[in-house]
Amino acid sequence: MSFYIGHEAPKLWRRICAETTTEINLLAENWKYILGGLIFQYIHGLGARGVHYLHRPGPTLQDAGYFLLPELGSDNAYISETVFTTIFLSFVLWTFHPFIFKTKKIYTVLIWCRVLAFLVACQFLRMMTFYSTQLPGPNYHCREGSKLATLPRPDSVLEVLLLNFPRGLLYGCGDLIFSSHMIFSLVFVRTYQKYGTRRFIKQCAWLAVIAQSFLIVASRKHYTVDVVVAWYTVNLVVFFVDKKLPELPDRTSAASLLPVSKDSKTKEENHKLLNGNADPEDWRPRTQINGMIMEDGNAVHVEAAMNGV
Q: Are 97 and 104 in contact (CB under 8 A)?
A: yes
Helix (H) or strand (E) holding 166: none
Ramachandran angles phi, psi of 301, nearest 5°:
-75, 130
Ramachandran angles phi, psi of 288, nearest 5°: -125, 125
Q: What is the CA radius of gyration of the chain?
A: 26
- DSSP code string of 61-94: PP-HHHHHS----GGGTHHHHHHHHHHHHHHHHH
| Alpha carbon distance 114, 245 (integer Å) | 8
Residue 247's CB is within 10 A of a number of other CB atoms, namely 9
Residue 88: asked if its preceding bond is cis (omega within 30°), the reply is: no
113 and 120 in contact (C-beta within 8 Å)?
no
List the catalytic residues: 181, 222, 226
Contacts of 112 (CB under 8 A, 6+ apart): 34, 37, 95
Q: How far is CA 202 from CA 143, 182, 268, in A?
A: 37, 17, 33
